[in-house]
Amino acid sequence: MLKETKEKLEYVLSVLKIQQIYFNACAVLSFDLETVCPPKGMNNQGETSAYLSNESFKLSKEPKFIESYEYLYQHIDELDEFDSVLIKGLHKSFVQEKNITPEMNLEWSKAFNNSWVNWLNAKEKDDYSVFAPSLKEVRDINLKMIELNEERKPVAYDNLLDTYETGMTGVDLDKYFGECKERLIPLLKKIQASPKKIRTDFLSRPVTDEQQKAMAEYLLNVIGFDFTRGALSTTEHPFTNGLAKDDIRVTTHYYPNAFISSMYSVIHEGGHALFEMFQPAENYDHYISGKKTMGMHESTSRFYENRIGRSREFVHLIFPKCKEIFSNVFYDVTEEEFYEAINCVEPSFIRTEADEFTYTFHIIIRYELEKEIVNNGAKIEDLPKMWNDKYEEYLGIRPSTYKEGILQDVHWSSGFGYFPTYALGNMYNAMYYNAMVKDFNVGEAIKDGNIQKINDWMTERVWKKADRLEPKEWIKEITGREFTAKDFLDYLEEKYSELYNL
């Protein structure tokens, strides 16, 4: 590396170090906002966050900083693999953001924060009109961002999707989701026509928060979550927040009559956390740990939640503890009944509580609506009806409140394009599961409680290069195959045909 290149790189890293401090502060503020902050304190805290993130944004607009990484972009062959990923990413953001002023950025941060507060209130009051103006504003901001990007893709939605899942387009998704609809709609009909009766009465037996907390901590320990580098809290909507290299937090929500909800959201968020915890330490030194896409992330979380968590072997592993902690629930339940109950297919309103099979429809519905909102200028006031119509069309059910309909998810309070990553995640992990079983007996590892063996494979094959590759390259590197929805659909067909004796 030439001296000038070295100096520029050091300068770039020194700016990123400060930006990381702002990021860390904002992450703590955001975590606090969702877990502890009292209602009347939220506005002030939102302003603090907006100010700090704008300070960081201003740093990214410093001419010397831009000049330095643009120089490095011209000399990319002198850099190692990590730094070259970093510099390419900076160059890309530069192009996307160069027409965004700090004033716009500050205004938008405030708008997103405000929108989140409005969403929370709207959901609590079950009043769409409280959130609708924010939703419109969020769309306008998203469109404005796209308009300001000189190298934008021609279809508006593709630009948003690209921020979460680099290289994926609406054309790709239409194909994958088309295949899903083609195979899953008839399969759902067969399942619904099956005479198989699955017992689910015990799932709504009352439990205390303390029982659920004990179970949540047990499950996180089982999958290998490191409590010296992470924490568990409660929030309205569960999430994972990687605040720093050694500070990865997951949250859950305890419902007194739905212990399954917290159990599986904890495994899901725990899966996200493992990805953050077991990525290469160099990612932090090179400031590229945020490069992994949301689809990659969701592949991991849904891998632990569904492929591991809802397998017969995992049920076998945790069943004794379930009987111990939830003795008032499981006194008359068999292991097989529990397995069947957590895999029972039943169209329902709430995405996060949907069974593994119908889940994909929840995503397809949001994806189709997002395209209407972003590409086709759908009227904001028409969205609840469009939402409900789609639920009726694909799942045969119609929400009767906003809470169980369009207001259920937080995501649209800050933008569009995230939802498809959940479904892509399922497709990725079905592919790498099929690679994993070639290397060792995964079911046996689960049954033995040897999740470490799975985590080791994931570390080496799935997590290691995630920050350095685009999704399509990444899944090919792991599996040796091109991306496809087929593995996922085969898996669903096989698992649910067996369960429902089809």
Considering the complex, what minimum distance in angstroms separates the CB of residue 497 from a second copy? Answer: 43
103 touches a second copy (CB under 8 A): no
228 touches a second copy (CB under 8 A): yes
Residues 185-214 that bind a second copy (CB under 8 A): 208-210
C-alpha to C-alpha distance for 347 and 365, rounded to whole angstroms = 13
**Binding residue for a second copy (CB under 8 A) from 31, 69, 119, 176?**
31
Range 203-235 burial, b when 16+ CB lie within 10 A, else e: bebebeeebbbebbebbbebbbbeeeebbbbbb
What separation, in Å, do the N-terminal and C-terminal C-alpha atoms of the chain show? Answer: 63
**What count of other Cβ atoms lies within 10 Å of the Cβ of residue 334?**
11
**Binding residue for a second copy (CB under 8 A) from 194, 200, 233, 348?**
233
C-alpha to C-alpha distance for 233 and 229, rounded to whole angstroms = 14
Residue closer to a second copy (CB basis): 41 or 377: 41
Stretch that binds a second copy, among 91-99, 224-232, 310-318, 461-469 (CB under 8 A): 224-232
Q: Give the closest residue to 41 by CA, choosing from 128, 129, 113, 106.
A: 113
C-alpha to C-alpha distance for 197 and 95, rounded to whole angstroms = 56
Considering the complex, what minimum distance in angstroms separates the CB of residue 36 from a second copy? Answer: 5
Choice among 34, 165, 269, 340 that is catalytic: 269
C-alpha to C-alpha distance for 291 and 283, rounded to whole angstroms = 9
**Binding residue for a second copy (CB under 8 A) from 47, 78, 137, 172?**
47
221 touches a second copy (CB under 8 A): no
Residues 246-275 that bind a second copy (CB under 8 A): 246-247, 249
348 touches a second copy (CB under 8 A): no
Q: Give the closest residue to 375 by CA, choosing from 159, 150, 167.
A: 159
Stretch that binds a second copy, among 36-44, 123-131, 404-412, 446-454 (CB under 8 A): 36-44
Quick one: residue 251, left, alpha or beta (phi over 0 = left, psi -120 to 50 = alpha)?
Answer: beta
**Binding residue for a second copy (CB under 8 A) from 37, 148, 203, 341?**
37
Considering the complex, what minimum distance in angstroms separates the CB of residue 281 from a second copy? Answer: 13
473 is catalytic: no
User: What three-state secondary structure class fits 207?
Assistant: coil
Stretch that binds a second copy, among 80-88, 132-140, 221-229, 482-490 (CB under 8 A): 221-229
**Binding residue for a second copy (CB under 8 A) from 7, 10, 14, 44?**
44
38 touches a second copy (CB under 8 A): yes
Considering the complex, what minimum distance in angstroms separates the CB of residue 22 from a second copy? Answer: 8
Residue pair 292/421 in contact (Cβ under 8 Å)? The answer is: no
Stretch that binds a second copy, among 38-46, 142-150, 397-405, 484-492 (CB under 8 A): 38-46
C-alpha to C-alpha distance for 152 and 149, rounded to whole angstroms = 5
Considering the complex, what minimum distance in angstroms separates the CB of residue 466 from a second copy? Answer: 22
Which residue's entry shows tokens 């689960």? 446
Helices 42-60 and 63-74 cross at an angle (nearest 10°) of: 50
401 touches a second copy (CB under 8 A): no
Residue closer to a second copy (CB basis): 50 or 184: 50
Range 7-30 burial, b when 16+ CB lie within 10 A, else e: ebbebbeebbeebbebbebbbbbb
Residues 11-30 that bind a second copy (CB under 8 A): 18, 21, 24-25, 28-29
Considering the complex, what minimum distance in angstroms separates the CB of residue 229 from a second copy? Answer: 5
Give the total of residues touching a second copy (CB under 8 A). 36
Quick one: residue 322, left, alpha or beta (phi over 0 = left, psi -120 to 50 = alpha)?
Answer: alpha
C-alpha to C-alpha distance for 84 and 464, rounded to whole angstroms = 16
Residues in touch with a second copy (CB under 8 A):
18, 21, 24-25, 28-29, 31-32, 35-41, 44-45, 47-48, 51-52, 208-210, 227-231, 233, 243-247, 249
Active site residues: 269
